[in-house]
Amino acid sequence: MNMMTETITIKEQVMPDTEDNLLFTPGPLSTSTTVKQAMMHDVGSRDGAFVETVREIRKEILRLAHVSQDAGYECILMQGSGTFGVESVLSSAIGPEHHVVIVANGAYGERMVRMAEVHGIRHSVLRTNEDEWPTVPALEKFVANAHGATHLVAVHSETTTGILNPIEAYGAVANKAGLVLIVDAMSSFGAVPLHVAKAHVDFLISSSNKCIEGVPGFSLIIARHDQLQRCKGRARTLSLDLYAQWKGLEDNGQFRFTPPTHALLAFRQALCELEEEGGPTARYARYACNQRRLTEGMCAMGFVPYLPTYRQGPIITSFLYPETAKFDFNRFYAALDSRGITIYPGKLSKADCFRIGSIGHLGTAEIDRLLDAVREVRCEMGL
């Protein structure tokens, strides 16, 4: 991979032994020692080597999406969490004359609804239960009834539950109806297969600290060049102006405002390690293996997954609270935390669940460590 030339020399460091928890979450994630080491270097934001690093990162992100600048796509890096990237796209790509259809089957779809409300964007919301997604006929009918619809927005991997929504099918609907498709691929890009062009995705948003296994600090946006050009002058904010951010990166290779230099150096190393692992296909296989081992082990202990298997993605799994008064999530969480294990509370609106992620710098050995800890805590709680 061309971007891995030694544009910046990072001195070898001996990392001290740490007692960091293993993070079974959808991000931030457990990261490799070498990704952490990559941040142990200070670099100026206008340094030529750093500018080249940013350029190569942008090129590599497009390659992972099976597109390129020559094919009419652009990559924009935006400071802040993934949510900043989503809001940048929604507030820059959708004008006052537009009407966006938002598919919502979890908290992150609802977050985009809230963004539309805050920015005064005309919108219609197709909601389903959190363990379902709309069928293609239902989506087609909804779009047809949303008079003047111009954009379709959906989440790929909805980490509220762990459901993996059928983005390719949504893309076909959007393409047939002439809609611009915006996809929140926050916790899927870099592992879950998705060909941006073939899926008719016009804007895709992800984050540095998800499947590529970097650290928090910036979001990444892949945009069709022609759609990006239409964002000029539309932005409702200064700092999240998607077109202006792209223009700055294209003109001089620099961010308009202070870039997350250390996070970008870590991300460059994370991209190296993604390639060394075998790319997104190999990473998907590892995550899927983690998720299967996790689910089998938890089910053997009597825990029940919230989602049916055919709707379950490899990123994070929701488990229902055991039906006993002996189970207290705060106690369960604290007991695992004391054993070096961090899980996630639930985010469902209609069921009591907790969530366990299967991504990050984790393999079957770490999954087994988690399962051993759960067995111990389960016995302590008398479950």
Q: Is residue 3 part of a domain?
A: no
Alpha helices in 6-75 (DSSP H): 33-38, 48-64
pLDDT at 18: 56
- State pLDDT tens for residues 287-310: 999 999 999 999 999 999 999 999
Residue-range definition of the domain harbouring residue 75: 33-275
Please state the domain count of the chain: 2
| Whether residue 357 has pLDDT greater than 70 | yes
Whether pLDDT at 11 is above 70? no
Is 222 exposed, middle or buried, given 0-12, 13-18 or 19+ CB atoms closer than 10 A? buried
Verify that 190 and 64 share a domain, yes or no: yes
Q: How far apart are CA 338 and CA 203, in angstroms?
A: 41
Of the CA atoms within 13 Å of residue 137, those in its CB half-sphere come to 0
Distance CA 74, CA 87 (A): 18
Is the per-residue pLDDT at 17 higher than 80? no
Q: pLDDT tens digits, residue range 133-180? A: 999 999 999 999 999 999 999 999 999 999 999 999 999 999 999 999
Please indicate, yes or no, whether residues 150 and 231 belong to a single structural domain of this protein: yes
Q: What is the CATH number of the domain that holds 133?
A: 3.40.640.10
Q: Are residues 249 and 113 in the same domain?
A: yes
The predicted structure's pLDDT at residue 348? 82
Asked, for residue 24, whether it belongs to a domain, the answer is: no
Q: Is residue 327 part of a domain?
A: yes
Is 304 among the domain residues? yes
Q: What is the mean pLDDT of residues 89-102?
A: 97
Work out the number of other CB atoms within 10 angstroms of the CB of residue 17: 5
pTM of the model: 0.93
Q: Is the pLDDT of residue 238 over 80?
A: yes
Q: What is the 3-state secondary structure (H, E, C) of 102-126?
A: EEECCHHHHHHHHHHHHCCCCEEEE
- Do the domain assignments include residue 365? yes
Strand partners, 127: 104
| Token digits of residue 138 | 């239902």
Question: What pLDDT, in 10s, does the model give residues 22-39?
Answer: 999 998 999 999 999 999
Q: What is the pLDDT of residue 4?
A: 41
Look at residue 228 and tell me if it is in a domain: yes
Q: Are residues 317 and 232 in the same domain?
A: no
Asked whether residue 228 falls in the same domain as residue 303, the answer is no
Boundary-marking domain end, from 227, 253, 275:
275
User: Is residue 22 in a domain?
Assistant: no
Judged against a pLDDT cut of 50, whether residue 332 lies above it is answered with yes
Question: Phi and psi of 349, rounded to 5°?
Answer: -90, -20
Same domain, 260 and 308: no
How confident is the model over 168-193, as pLDDT tens digits? 999 999 999 999 999 999 999 999 99
**Phi and psi torsions of 23, nearest 5°:** -100, 105
Is the same domain home to 284 and 221? no
Asked if residue 160 and residue 63 are part of one domain, the reply reads yes
Q: Please tell me the predicted confidence (pLDDT) of residue 350.
A: 83
Residues 53 and 184 in one domain: yes
* Residue 318 φ then ψ, to 5°: -95, 135
DSSP for 178-203, please give it: TPEEEEE-TTTTTTS---TTTTT-SE
Domain co-membership, 94 together with 117: yes
Last residue of a domain, one of 216, 244, 275: 275
Domain ends where: 275, 304, 339? 275
209 shares its domain with 340:
no
Verify that 212 and 87 share a domain, yes or no: yes
CATH number at residue 344: 3.90.1150.10
**Nearest Cα residue to 204 out of 219, 218, 222:** 222
Least confident of 18-32, 51-65, 256-270: 18-32
Cα–Cα separations (whole angstroms), residue 378 to 287, 298, 326, 331, 336: 25, 11, 10, 11, 10
pLDDT at 10: 35
Rounded mean pLDDT of 71-76? 98
Residue 59 forms part of a structural domain: yes
With 90 as the cut, is the pLDDT of residue 19 above it? no
